[in-house]
Each structure stands twice: as C-alpha cells, then as structure tokens.
Structure 1
Amino acid sequence: MKKIQSAAIPFRLDDANRLFLLLITSRRKGRWVLPKGTVSGMLPHVSAAREAFEEAGVIGLIAKTPFETYHLRKNVGCGVAMEIPVYTFPMRVTVELQTWPEMDFRQRQWILAGQITEMVESAELRSLLQRFAQSDHSRLKA
C-alpha cells in the first residue's frame, strides 16, 4: 500500500493584505517545513488540519481540496528510499495557540512570502510555496 501525506499551508493576511506563511522546524534536522503527516483513517484535509494543530499550534479554515502535491523522499531502511506524495491544503489561520502538543520539539515562525527562498531548503517545496503566494488561494478571506 502506497503511503500518502498531507500538509497544511498555514497563512494569514495582515491589514495591508500582505501574505504571511507559517513554517515549523522538522524534528530531526531543524529544516523549515510545513506541518505534515501520514494520512491514516481520516480525510487528507482533516489530517492536515490535525498536523497544523499538533505541530504548529494553529487552528483555522482549511480547504477541502489540495492546492498542489509535492514529493518527499523517505528512507525506509536498508538503503531503500521511497517517494511519498504530500498533498497540500491551504489553511487560513484564525487561532494561534500559546501551548500545543509539539511545542517542545519544534520552532514556528511567520514569514513574509518574499522570505520563502531564504528559509525553505527543499527546492520542490520552495517552488510550491512561491506558486501558492502568487495564487488566488492565498487571498481568500473567510
């Protein structure tokens, strides 16, 4: 069975309509990434919202259809790597919690869309976030 993951793209707009994205650090290497996890037993957008709560401490309005998909290479052991699709779901953040389940293991940081190239190491994720920043999805308000 092929594993899939889902990720939230947490975002907010300020009063000047500038787009901010929320990134978190990965647990192992401390890279700036999106909150994501394996989809198991629930719809992918629900899984993405759960990951955003657990890993980034945010709650919001999440799209039911993915924005785009990127691919992640995961080592599965014995020198074997597997390419896993990650479905991304825009999430307009409405609540930022002061405490959350993984706060002791991760950092979170709001960045202006223009800072994506400075922060995101993965070329595929960086490109996806740049496309998101230029899309209509990032301008939706509830």
Structure 2
Amino acid sequence: MSDLVARTGRLQQRYEAGCRLVAGCIPFRWKDSEDSSDAKSEKTVEVLMINSTSGPGLLFPKGGWENDETVEEAAEREALEEAGVRGELMGLLGHYHFKSKTHQEEFGSEGLCKAAMFALLVKEELESWPEQSTRQRKWLVIPEAVKSCRHAWMQEALEEGFSKWCADNMEG
C-alpha cells in the first residue's frame, strides 16, 4: 500500500470568501462498559484524538479540503493521514470558524479557516500511517477529551456538535 502518503503543499486548497476550507472528523468507537453487573450493558462512546505537532493539547484530525475531492473524502483522508484510521462518516456535525496561526502570513487574510467536521465511526486502526512518526493516538471518553482539546472550536465541535449528534442518533 504505497499510496499511503500524506499530501503536502497548498496549491489545491479550496477557499470561500477569503476563508481556507478545512475538513475534519471526530473519530469514535463504541466500548462496552466494564461494569456489566446489570443485565443491559451500557455502551460508552470513546473519541480518538491525536497530539498536536505545535504544542500541548490534543486534536481531532483535520486539514485542507482540496479541489479534487469532496469534503467527505477530505475528512476521511485526514483521518487516515493524521490518525491512521479508516471508517464510515456518519454525519456532518457542523461548520466551525477559527484562525490558523500557522498559516496567517501564508494566506494573507488573518489565516481565517472554516472547518466542516464529521462524526467518523472507526472500523479499522492501521498499524502504520503517513504521520505516525509525529502523531500519537489516544482514545478518550468525552469528558476527558473535552479537557484535553487544544482548540476552543474543537471543544465546541465535540461538546455541541458531536454530543448532540450522539443524542439524536443513539436511541433505540
């Protein structure tokens, strides 16, 4: 599988009204609760986070949405490149605006970004992936993930977008 190479460069980046368009996801899995003392076992949701390469705190996989792919393909590609996971996109959690400090000068206008964030049900965790030399993965329950989030907008995506999506999609 030699096609597992991270894309680099910004030539294919999409922009909208001066904002760099970004796609990302909150990878998650179901974990049966350890406490199976009562008959109906509770399922716990865990989310997968990765370390930031530019400082403390954890992140969800995300990156530039490129001209030759759909926003869903971009979100899936970032999950594969940065976190080494493949899965099924389950729904759009929302759009989040933020400023990218790393790309401020490069893009001129303040480094404004608009991220489309999805819920991604993880089906496969790869043993090797493009950014494994700089990224560590960590599965966390939602309260831990909220505390570990490096960026406020990712915390919002988790607390409002993902938690609401879970509540709407988990009954039954």
State the secondary structure of the residue aligned to 1:121. coil
User: Is the 2:146–2:158 contact (alpha carbons within 8 Å) kept by the matching residues of 1?
Assistant: no
**Given the alignment, which residue of 128, 135, 141 partners 1:112?**
141
* Residue among 3, 6, 25 paired with 1:8: 25
Point out the more displaced range, 122-131 or 13-22. 122-131
Q: Kindly report which structure 2 residues correspond to 1:92-107, keeping only aligned pairs within 5 A, or say none.
A: 92-107=121-136
TM-score, reference length from structure 2: 0.72
User: Once the 2 structures are TM-superposed, how far is the Cα of residue 123 of structure 1 from its aligned partner?
Assistant: 2.0
Q: Paired residue for 1:31, among 57, 60, 63? A: 57
Identity across the alignment (%): 27
Q: How many residues align?
A: 139
Q: 1:17 aligns with which of 33, 36, 43?
A: 43
Alignment partner of 1:49 is 2:76: yes
Which runs of 5 or more structure 1 residues have no equivalent in the other structure?
Answer: none
Deviation per residue, 1:26-65 (Å, 9 max, x gap): 22224311111111120001111011011001010113x5
Look at both structures and tell me which one has the larger radius of gyration over its CA atoms.
2
* Cα RMSD (Å): 2.1
Deviates more, 1:23-32 or 1:95-104: 23-32
Q: Deviations over 1:71-101 (max 9, x none)?
A: 2212421886222100001100011111111
Cα gap change, 1:88 to 1:129, in 2 (>3 Å): same
Of 153, 158, 169, the match for 1:124: 153
Ranges of 4+ aligned residues in structure 1 off by more than 6 Å: none
Q: State the SS of the aligned residue for 2:110.
A: strand
**What is the CA–CA distance in structure 1 between the aligned matches of 2:149 and 2:47, rounded to whole Å?**
11
2:105·2:111 contact (CA, 8 Å) conserved in 1?
A: no
Q: What is the SS of the residue equivalent to 1:127?
A: helix
Unpaired stretches in structure 2, ≥5 consecutive residues: 1-14, 33-41
Change (3 A) 1:138 1:35: farther
Query: Which residue does 2:104 correspond to in 1?
Result: 76
Label 1:80 to 1:39 Cα distance change in 2 as closer, same or farther (>3 A): closer
Alignment partners' CA distance in 1, 2:168 and 2:126: 22
